[in-house]
Amino acid sequence: MTGVVVIGSQWGDEGKGKIVDWLSSKADVVVRFQGGHNAGHTLVIDNETYKLNLLPSGILRADKKSIIGNGVVLDLRALITEIKGLTDRNINISPQNLSISDKASIILPLHQKLDELREINAGKSKIGTTKRGIGPAYEDKVARRSIRVCDLFDKNQLKLKVDNLLNHHNALMRGYGEIEYEASSVVNEVFDLGQVIMPYAKSIIEISREINKPENKILFEGAQGFLLDIDHGSYPFVTSSNTHSSYAAIGSGLNPNRINHVMGITKAYTTRVGSGPFPTEEDNDIGQKLGEIGHEFGTVTNRKRRCGWFDTVLVSQAVQQSGINGIALTKLDVLDTFKVLKVCIGYEIKGKKIDYFPSSEFDQANIKPIYEEIEGWNSKTAGSQNIEELPEKAVNYINRLSDLIGAKIDLVSTSPKREDTILLNDVFS
């Protein structure tokens, strides 16, 4: 059995949606294993654009099995809306091709309210969350008071769980001077939503038995990026889950022995949404140009992304820690009109040179990047589907990045379209 994990190697927004969709043509099963509806994957298929937040990208292929794993936090209303939006566009979604782990934790409106209150009251220390309740939902999970999918189907048992949850959340609402929640209204809302998703809910043992065939190829789909990992990212400006490749097994409940390749989706430059350190950020005309050509606006929030040069220190760290075997290099075409490109090859902090991203947020804020300049190709790569079609200088850039980050290039994406992909290493062969 072949298992491929796809993760972002930067701060998210690397183009995972297209790559996972492209790889899903070769897979039998696609599993989403962490994050919530704060993730946004944009896919362009036959000139139709699809934006997914919770559903695995494989859902757009009728012959694939899609799974939402236990590591995901679920906003039921958002999920139901997303399913309806796709079925209205003639995408078939049923319990035959979509399963939801009954261990997945639920995001409630109270989580979103708390997320918003915290950001408003954080002032200059705000994280820049999407205010969708992701963090508070994960907090409840770790604190062992979470409502899970398996709790939704018996109203009496659900009320016991909600009462326990509100002991905590109503104390917070009192502290913020907000109106407290009534258990009955929370129970009624989540119970009714639960009835809609009940047909999709299964135990991981049921799911595992369905897909446990030697010939099955499984694609594990991550959200966000490695540098937003709660443990290994630019803490505290991170997401609330582990985006590390090893979480694919934990967040799906599937045997880690099924994983034999990790692909890191990597943008040909660097972007970031929200607050936090960004050593190679170009807050100037260069960053503006990258953003305009690359259409750098968040899929979920539509916030403008911060843009800058490629940082090999960050990506090589993601490669080493996440066991990335190969890179999918995306948005190469955005660099087509730049005469000179810069690549960060090291850092300087207080006069000392280092070759790693420091753990302290104060050190991170004082990084000065050390650059190597590479001559641009100043010609078109957009739409290329074969490595021989690329300008020599574009190939030189790709090879130089591969050398600096210590990973081979599996494929290169030259536009948002599914077909504009150059395959260099077939990970499902």
Active-site residue numbers? 13, 41
CA distance 72 to 103: 9
C-beta separation of 347 from 313 below 8 A: yes
What is the CB-side half-sphere exposure of residue 375 using CA atoms within 13 A? Answer: 5
CA distance 194 to 146: 15
Q: What is the dihedral of CA 151, 154, 160, 165, to 10 degrees?
A: 40
H-helix or E-strand spanning residue 138? helix 134-142
DSSP string, 3-64: EEEEEESSSS-SSHHHHHHHHHTT-SEEEE-SB-TT--EEEEETTEEEEESSS-GGGGSTT-
Q: Is 141 helix (H, G, I), strand (E, B) or coil?
A: helix
Beta bridge partners of 411: 328, 423
Running DSSP on this structure, what letter comes out for residue 209? Answer: H
